[in-house]
């Protein structure tokens, strides 16, 4: 299973999930009220590398990070 971590103000504990790609991740969390606002605006990293494509394959033991936008200097 892959592990997803929710960084910054998302405020959700990491979870182990069984998905094949990021499209399945979006479908998995579509009904989660806490994540609803974040799913479309977060950057996504797999094993600390930013990805842009929703069809990226997820392997067992991958680490997926949801990175919310931040402001600052």
At residue 72, the pLDDT reads 58
Q: What is the pLDDT along the chain (73 residues), one digit of tens a residue?
A: 999 999 999 989 999 999 999 999 989 988 888 887 888 889 999 999 999 998 999 999 999 999 998 765 5
**Cβ contact 44:12 at 8 Å:** no
Instruction: Please indicate, yes or no, whether the overall pTM of this predicted structure exceeds 0.95.
Output: no
Burial of 37 (0-12, 13-18, 19+ CB in 10 A): exposed
Task: Determine whether 40 is exposed, middle or buried from the number of CB atoms within 10 Å of its CB (0-12, 13-18, 19+).
Answer: exposed
Unique residue bearing structure tokens 């910054």: 8
Burial of 28 (0-12, 13-18, 19+ CB in 10 A): middle
Set out the domains of the chain in order of their start, with CATH numbers: 2-67 (3.10.20.30)
């Amino acid at each position: 299973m892959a592990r997803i971590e929710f960084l910054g103000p998302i405020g959700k504990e990491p979870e182990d999930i069984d998905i094949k790609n990021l499209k399945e991740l979006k479908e998995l969390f579509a009904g989660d009220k806490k994540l609803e606002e974040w799913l479309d605006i977060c950057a996504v990293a797999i094993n600390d590398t930013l990805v842009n494509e929703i069809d990226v394959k997820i392997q067992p033991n991958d680490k997926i990070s949801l990175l919310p936008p931040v402001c600052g200097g």
